[in-house]
Amino acid sequence: MTPYMSGVRCLWSGFEVFLNSSKQYVPPSEFRKYLPGGPIEGEFVTRKNGSKGIKEILKSKNMEEWKELKFIAYDAPQVKAPFEERVKKLKKVLKKKNNPYVVLQEPILCQSLEHLNEEITKQLKAGLKGVVLRQSQGNVTQFLRKATKVLKEDEKPLSQLI
């Protein structure tokens, strides 16, 4: 599981950024030199502008604006290996880059429903939206999102919602 953030989800191709909406953006060359070859699945986040502000920065060619962004890397989907191995390889690549703008979001192995509830509570208290669960077996990462909105509204433990 990983924190569910309020950024802009995207895929880094190695040259361009593709959003879920199929929009594509080319970062300034100074920013690109810090990004590893793609594709890398991740999310752009910023401390102050929210997703609308992030999309405005993505349209910009101004490096000073791009410096406000962090790219949170989650996965290297084209590596032909199970999820855990892809994350290990991605970690190795990112470590070589010594990068101020890219951070690997290492997954936390979910031990139990109690552990999941604790992590969701921790992330909500930190101001995030909850957690994203990923099935770790196989070559395709499957998102098994559980809406934290339901948890907030019903205030039921997750074990009662599954």
The answer to whether 69 and 35 have CB atoms below 8 angstroms apart is no
pLDDT at 140 over 70: no
51 three-state secondary structure: helix
Query: Minimal CA–CA distance to 76: which of 88, 65, 60, 66?
Result: 88
User: Number of C-alpha atoms within 13 angstroms, CB side, residue 16?
Assistant: 7
Percent of the chain at pLDDT exceeding 70: 81
Q: Give the pTM.
A: 0.75
In the chain the first and final C-alpha atoms are separated, in Å, by: 16
Query: Minimal CA–CA distance to 15: which of 4, 5, 6, 31?
Result: 31
Which of the listed CATH numbers 3.40.50.180, 3.40.50.10600, 3.30.470.30, 3.40.50.720 matches domain 2-161?
Answer: 3.30.470.30
C-alpha to C-alpha distance for 93 and 107, rounded to whole angstroms: 17
The answer to whether 39 and 78 have CB atoms below 8 angstroms apart is yes
The pLDDT tens digits for 32-79 are 888 888 789 999 998 776 778 888 999 999 999 999 999 999 888 888
C-alpha to C-alpha distance for 59 and 29, rounded to whole angstroms: 14
Name the average pLDDT for the chain: 78
